[in-house]
Amino acid sequence: MSELYNWKKSLLIYLDIRVIRLLVLGFSSGLPILLIFSTLSLWLKSAGIDRSTITLFSWAGLAYSFKFLWAPVIDKLPIIMLSNKFGHRKSWLIFSQLMLIMFLGGLGFVDPKYNLLLMAFIIVCVSFCSATQDAMVDTYRIESAPSGLQSAMSGLYIVGYRLGMIVAGAGSLVLASFFGGDEQSYNANAWQKTYIIMAVLQSIGLICVLMSPEPPSKRILLDNFRDRLKLINVFFVSILIFILIYNVFPIIKFQDPFIKGFFIALKLLTALSGMIVVFTISTKVNYVKNYVIHSTFWDPITSFVKKYGSMAIVILIIIGLYRIADIVMGVVANLFYSDMGYTLNQIATISKFWGLIATILGGLLGGALASRYNNYSILLLGAILASATNVLFAILATLEPKVVYLMIVIIADNIAAGIASVASPLVSS
């Protein structure tokens, strides 16, 4: 009886308004990601863009991997007018969501067949705004509720996130097909209308933020305008140095995957070192005050290391790589299904219905498990399940295109993703 009571208590936690709020914010976070990956890939494919160029668009996803670089900066910088009225966290959420609405809506007036560079620029902007929103939602979640609610908040956040991905993936394909995207000849208007509708749906998160309270937290913001401007200047210069070093780094092809991975890691570390040099020089020449750099970048790192000790490096590796499979697979998932012989309606219908059920089940189950058991155990379970579903994709590639096979893979993938994704944000809490 006590065991039943404990499970009931774990499930009732989902009725708390602070938990429900994360469902909507999760939807807002999950909506943009497929619009710049798999859905965009199908649009580009229908426009006649070659596959190698389509793959290059996946580089926009680096914003999600490197959002930790500018998260400390926006943690220090208030937004003029917005911060005083709404608070620091809410102001950045409102700003990032407004930009997402504007850029996603802007894609509704671009045809990649004739304006590919403009589309690439907008996609990069969407990626950075989306990654910024994700970072702010994470901090909002941590600061807006006690630790006892964090597992349920993470669980519903994942449900909302996956719902957003389903709407952006399956939903956008249904809309594109409805507007004529399935026609033999290229129909840019069908995709443009779809992205305008997605921009309207993005406003759901904005409405939620406007109706939500600013979380109570103590932070020291940079009130001096010149200090803020100089920090922004140094940050953008450091980003340019990072990009320059990363691009001019010698290109060496290795057959051994381990050596290749080590070389890529060396490349990233060298680029990051270039950023550190820029920050160091800016303080040496007194362009930026030393305390500004330290309070913005070094103090959070020091606090993190003190909190987790020897586990800090392990946690950072987990945070950086735990969801890399989703990001890598996301850009080619729909292309994979399409190349296997499945139609847009089949992909959309299975993802929308069965994927939705599996998403809700995986997120709720992951949240309930995380509230009852050790977070690291759930993290390990999620990693094992996520790896197992990758094997299912490999098996699917060898089978003839039958709806039941696609259904099994999508259901398993969504359940595993829901469980795997719940524990990872809890580690950073």
CA distances from 315 to 41, 49, 381, 429 (A): 32, 39, 16, 11
pLDDT value of position 91: 93
Q: Give yes or no: residues 201 and 281 share one domain.
A: no
Number of structural domains found in the chain: 2
Cα(130)–Cα(205) distance, integer angstroms: 12
Q: Are residues 180 and 285 in the same domain?
A: no
What long-range pairs does 316-324 form, CB within 8 A, spacing at least 24? 318/379, 318/424, 318/427, 319/424, 319/427, 319/428, 320/65, 322/379, 322/383, 322/420, 322/424, 323/420, 323/421, 323/424, 324/65
The pLDDT of residue 304 is 75
CA neighbor of 420 nearest in space, from 318, 350, 345, 311: 318
- pLDDT, one tens digit for every residue, the chain (429 residues): 455 555 556 566 777 788 889 999 999 999 998 898 888 888 998 888 887 788 777 777 777 877 877 788 888 888 888 888 898 889 999 999 999 999 999 999 999 999 999 999 999 999 999 999 998 998 888 888 777 777 778 778 878 887 888 889 888 988 998 898 877 788 999 999 999 999 999 999 999 999 999 888 766 777 777 888 888 888 888 888 887 888 788 777 767 667 777 777 788 888 889 988 998 899 888 888 888 888 777 777 787 788 777 777 777 776 666 666 665 565 567 777 878 888 777 877 776 677 777 877 877 777 777 666 666 677 777 777 777 777 888 888 888 888 888 888 888 887 887 777 665 555 555
Domain membership of residue 66 (yes or no) is yes
C-alpha span between 123 and 38 (Å, rounded) = 13
Looking at the structure, tell me whether residues 265 and 240 fall in a common domain.
yes
pTM above 0.85, yes or no: no
Residue 316 falls within a domain, yes or no? no
* Residue where a domain terminates, one of 272, 305, 338: 305
Residues 164 and 282 reside in one and the same domain = no
Q: Are residues 191 and 54 in the same domain?
A: yes
Amino acid at 379: L
Q: For the chain, first and last CA: distance in Å?
A: 32
Kindly report the CATH number assigned to the domain that includes residue 58. 1.20.1250.20
Query: Distance between CA atoms of 115 and 118, rounded to whole angstroms?
Result: 5
In a domain, 314, yes or no: no
Residue 95's pLDDT is 94
- How far is 194 from 241, CA to CA, in rounded Å? 37
pLDDT for the residue numbered 323: 62
Q: Give residue 393's domain range.
A: 10-213+322-427
On whether the CB atoms of residues 289 and 279 are closer than 8 A, the answer is no
User: What's the CA gap between 381 and 367, in Å, rounded?
Assistant: 13
CA–CA distance from 310 to each of 305, 306, 377, 379 (Å)? 8, 9, 19, 18
Whether 218 is in a domain gets the answer no
- Tell whether 14 and 92 lie within a shared domain: yes
Shared-domain flag, residues 54 and 196: yes
Q: Which pair of tokens denotes residue 239? A: 């980003």
pLDDT value at residue 198: 95
pLDDT at 200: 96
Under 8 Å between Cβ of 374 and 405 = no
Q: Are residues 284 and 378 in the same domain?
A: no
Asked if residue 74 and residue 180 are part of one domain, the reply reads yes
Cα(109)–Cα(170) distance, rounded to whole angstroms? 22
- Indicate if 67 and 201 belong to the same structural domain: yes
> Could you tell me if 23 and 95 lie in one domain?
yes
User: 87's torsion region: left (phi>0), alpha (psi -120 to 50) or beta?
Assistant: left
Give domain status of residue 311, yes or no.
no
Boundary residue ending a domain (251, 278, 305)? 305
Grouping H, G, I as helix, E, B as strand and the rest as coil, residue 256 is coil
CB 62 within 8 A of CB 243: no
